[in-house]
Chains A and B, each alone.
Chain A
């Protein structure tokens, strides 16, 4: 993936990628299916679930976005992008056939190897669930290698529920539970009412066999993980995906620090016991 310059590898080089498809997930969320333009780069590109790329829009800048497609098909790269800032707003105007830039892959992804043979409890909150959707899809493509799957997903309003068809699809799979909740429901809502941590009461957990993947607001992790720990799950079996400002992706620009960690290279997925003391600290 890295461009060679003499004997030097330049981790800053941006590689063009064509948008093959643009899939609308919600009003302000799109999934871009990308293919690297340069043949050599495309052949060498490998990634792990939960890793991210720096995605570049010409003349505007870069933004860190997790790769949600399957690592076994590294020639196609899916990125689900929510329109929130000036770079993502510019990206939202792009259409299939146009180009984005890619630099990566970076960071530590989900522990999907370690999770093999174990029950997987997935806890997500709000709109930030795209990084974990890639992990769920990964597990379902290799379903026999994993134990039971429980997906607990909380949204503020029913309008915030994305991937509705996927949740329905997963719900129908064997040995799989999907529980949804909204804390500001409307009349159409037929699932739980409340915050996502309340869903813990409704699931049976075998603490010795379970690994937890969490993605969403930090407050959900801070309040949710102690509940799971009281049910016997060790902090070392809980993985959380964290978010900070990232510019370089290679641990040099200094923006993504959380305590002693650079989330771009030590994360974005971190084992809970390593970050416990930093979560919820003001200004960290």
Chain B
């Protein structure tokens, strides 16, 4: 490592196409946010104009709106409903093809084709979410080979956030708004130029190929202060200090009934969550019963079958399911993986059709509320 100006380069906004071309030259399919149906989704992009230039998102509980600002900002939109999750943990992943044979059947693994994908525009919360999923799918007792195959091909061009949404609370979760790890390149958009830094060998390799001028100390300073201002501007926060135990103790809190009156159990919060990993296996035989496919699909703790066990459902009510989700996300996740399941992206707040806000629910659950006497008997020390 040398001085900041040796590791930080500057890319004028007008030269952004060079970055896309350099990635293409390295064999990457380049994916970035594109405007669709009133939000942004990840799509393959070819030119800078495919990106949401001049657009900005406003997010609040249960509401998302894009507005055109007329600026030249490429990354004015903070994020859409999708995190990085679908790139490695595919919503629909064929696992096996099974065929009848003399000895019963034979199975073949249907691994995804290895593909080099460069994702431009990942935010700090997205990288934090991916790190949580890596911990689950790659670093636990079993390594998931399908996830591994997709993950291996990812090249991540992150963008530091210089604007906070009202739903953002990454600062309190210590996951953002500055990207700190897990990226290949990190960009900070400052007016008509980008501060660029490399975070991996592959990133350094790409950056050196671009032969960009070093960034001035002024630019580095300005980028830093904009990121810091973004953190300061966040209006939501989560305090995990007493977790997991405090939420375990709130198991019979009256607030669960109240939130269950609003919750639709529609699964949206879990689908947009960058860390939610529940999945189910769907078995589909053909009509002749000679072949069958074994496919993994995203599932949710709000779904009917999640708590099903022969003849009964352990979590039949919306209250049971919301409590399962929040307790897992903010409490038992810590016991399971040594980290919170929440990265502070705020997607579950925005994309909840009725605007349920976990940053409101958690404090309500942690203030002493009406608890049933049964709960006090059952909840002991761990």
Direct contact of A and B (CB under 8 A): yes
Chain A residues in the interface with B (C-beta under 8 A): 3, 5, 8-18, 37, 58-62, 84-85, 98-101, 243-245, 247-248, 250-255, 257, 259-260, 262, 265, 276-277, 280-284
CB atoms of A277 and B380 under 8 A apart = yes
Interface size on B, residues (CB 8 A): 61
Choose from A5, A61, A98 the contact partner of B283 (Cβ within 8 Å): A61
- Residues in B with CB closer than 8 Å to A10 are 109, 145
CB atoms of A253 and B105 under 8 A apart = no
Specify the chain A residue showing the minimal Cβ separation from B277: A254
Give the dominant DSSP class at A's interface: loop
Q: Does B143 contact A (CB under 8 A)?
A: yes
Within 8 A of A (CB), among B285-325: 285, 289, 292, 294, 299, 301, 305-311, 314-315, 317, 319-321, 323-324
CB atoms of A58 and B100 under 8 A apart = yes
- Residues in A with CB closer than 8 Å to B251 are 281-282, 284
A14-B96 CB under 8 A given contacts A8-B148, A281-B251, A283-B315? yes
Q: How far is the CB of A35 from chain B (nearest CB, A)?
A: 11
Specify the chain B residue showing the minimal Cβ separation from A58: B105
CB atoms of B336 and A280 under 8 A apart = no
CB atoms of B310 and A84 under 8 A apart = yes
CB atoms of A265 and B143 under 8 A apart = no
CB atoms of A3 and B109 under 8 A apart = yes
Q: How far is the CB of B280 from chain A (nearest CB, A)?
A: 6
A18-B104 CB under 8 A given contacts A252-B137, A259-B248, A277-B378? yes
CB atoms of B336 and A245 under 8 A apart = no
Give the dominant DSSP class at B's interface: mixed
- Residues in A with CB closer than 8 Å to B107 are 13-15, 101
Chain B residues in the interface with A (C-beta under 8 A): 95-96, 98, 100-101, 103-107, 109, 111, 136-137, 140-145, 148-149, 244, 248, 251, 277-281, 283, 285, 289, 292, 294, 299, 301, 305-311, 314-315, 317, 319-321, 323-324, 328, 332, 335-336, 378-382
**Complex CA distance for A248 and B332, rounded to whole angstroms:** 20
CB atoms of B279 and A12 under 8 A apart = no
Choose from A99, A100, A244 the contact partner of B314 (Cβ within 8 Å): A244
CB atoms of A253 and B248 under 8 A apart = no
**Complex CA distance for A12 and B279, rounded to whole angstroms:** 13
Specify the chain A residue showing the minimal Cβ separation from B95: A12
